[in-house]
Every structure is written in C-alpha cells, then in structure tokens.
Amino acid sequence: MAEAKKSSSKFSAAGKLLLVAVGILVIALGASSIVSKVGVNAGSVFGGLTKSGSTAAAGAGAGAVSSGTGTYSPDPSTLAVSSASPGKKYQRAAFGESWTDKVDVEGGGNGCDTRNDILHRDLTNKTYVKTSKCPYAIATGTLADPYTGRAISFTRGAETSSTVQVDHLVALENAWDSGAWAWDVAQRTRIANDPANLLASDGSANMSKGSKTADRWLPPNPGFQCRYVKLQIMVKNKYRLTVTASEKATMQRFAGRC
C-alpha cells in the first residue's frame, strides 16, 4: 500500500512538471505568433524602414501643403518646406486611443496593444505576463537602446515601466503641425501606431526629445544619429508631411551618409 502511494506521488509530481512545461510552450508559441504578426524586428527598422500598415499613400488633406512621395523614400528633397501654422491646437486625443490594437497597420488586430507589439520587436531576453490588453505582454526584457547605446533592463510595473518608452520617430505634435491636422482620425491613428514610426528607447532620452524635430534634437548616441534622421525622412515622405527650412537642411546634411 505504501509503495502504491509512493508511485502515485511520483506520478503526481511528473504530471505537474508536464503541465508547467506545456504552459511555458503555449506562452512561447503565443508570443512568437504575435511577433510574426507584427512582422518587423529591430534590425529591419535600423537597416531601413519596414513598410507597415496601409499601402495607400497618405493624402495631404484639405487645405494642407502637398509634400512627400507617399512611399518610404529616404530622399529629403521631395519634402515640401512649410512654416504655416495649422490654426488648430494639437491634442493627443486627435490621434485616437493610445496604443490601440484596433488600427489598420501591421500588427493591428493581433490581440495585443501597440506598445507591447513594439516591446516584443525591440527587446531581447523577454518574459511574459497576461494583461487585459495583451495575453503575452512583456514582463521583463533587455533593450539595446539605439538612442544612448546602452543596454537597459526592463521590468513591467507602475514605478519601472517608464524606464523603456516607445518613441514616435516623428512626434505626434510635429506630425500635427506638419499636415496631420488636416487628416481624418483614422489616418492620424495609423501614424500613431505604425511600427515604422515607433522605436523602443531609453525613457529619459525620449522625454528629452519631446516633440522636437531633427534640427532641434538628435540621439546622444552619435552612431545612431544618421539612421534616426533617415527614418524620420522616410516616415515624413510616406505620410506626406512637411518640414521647416531648418529641419530640411539637417536632413539634407545627413542624406546619403547611411
């Protein structure tokens, strides 16, 4: 009888280990599925802007200055110079719900909010946790931060999540001033959640940037400055956004260097 109990105990322990292993596999497969739906990785973004989201060219909108190519072009000469004021004050709410999954961009509708999609793409050594916005949200991970050149440890939490932020390469306020004020909400929601306009970055560096354009702020890491400007050019071309004269001069200075 004692031997039977011992055997049963061993079976129970083995069963528990099997359940744990299955659970880990399910989480890993789920996370892999989300990453594949996002379809981009840090290397592809740094090497050249990934073509994500709607393939339709972004229209200038009624009353906006025509600019750009409507494609991810790295040529700054196609961007129109304009210093005109939109006449409407920027508000974040005009760009739709923050990090919504209900958007027509790559990764939209995959079951995870945009912030977690970008963390999935840009972080390594990841662990996961289920949340109301993502069943495979990032719990911990490591970011090779392009803005500072440092390795940053990320831990999800009220006091720690802001260590790694998701930056809009073309800041939303700058997008607004550059033509997005004339768009409909759907188009503004696209640029706010387009993976091609997003990069996980050091929180302090992102806060330092704010809504500044390339002529007023560059990443402190000199090895990423050219790539950063190139990515901005490509986003502005795709969405047909304008630039100021000073901004364009900075873009032309970096054009062709990387």
3-state secondary structure of 53: coil
Total number of domains in the chain: 1
pLDDT tens readout for residues 210-257: 999 999 999 999 999 999 999 999 999 999 999 999 999 999 999 989
Average pLDDT on 50-77 reads: 67
* pLDDT score recorded for residue 256: 87
- Mean pLDDT across 124-133: 97
Asked whether residue 55 is domain-assigned, the answer is no
Tell me if 85 is assigned to some domain.
no
Most confident listed range (67-76, 82-91, 184-193): 184-193
Distance CA 59, CA 67 (A): 9
92 pLDDT tier (thresholds 50, 70, 90): very high
Residue 223 CA: distances (Å) to CA of 60, 95, 174, 218: 33, 31, 24, 11
Say which residue the tokens 């607004």 belong to: 176
Residue type, 29: L
State the residue range of the domain holding 101.
Answer: 92-256
Which band of pLDDT confidence, cut at 50, 70 and 90, is reported for residue 58?
A: low
Q: Does residue 59 form part of some domain?
A: no
Judge whether 162 lies within some domain: yes
Residue 26 lies in a domain: no
At residue 198, the 3 state secondary structure works out as strand
Question: Which residues have CB under 8 Å from 223's CB, separation 6+?
Answer: 149
Instruction: Give a yes or no: residue 7 inside a domain.
Output: no
Cβ atoms within 10 Å, residue 98: 12
Compute CA 190 distance to the chain's CA centroid, rounded to the nearest angstrom.
12
Whether 36 maps to a domain, the answer reads no
Asked if residue 218 belongs to a domain, the reply is: yes
* Structure tokens belonging to residue 119: 């963390």
What is the rounded distance in angstroms from the CA atom of residue 218 to the CA atom of residue 212? 9
pTM for the full predicted model = 0.80
Given a contact cutoff of 8 angstroms between Cβ atoms, the answer to whether 79 and 245 are in contact is no
Q: What angle do CA 117, 120, 126 make, to 5 degrees?
A: 150
Report d(CA 94, CA 102) in Å as an integer: 15
* Count of Cβ atoms closer than 10 Å to residue 120 Cβ: 28
Q: CB atoms < 10 A from the CB of 187, how many?
A: 20
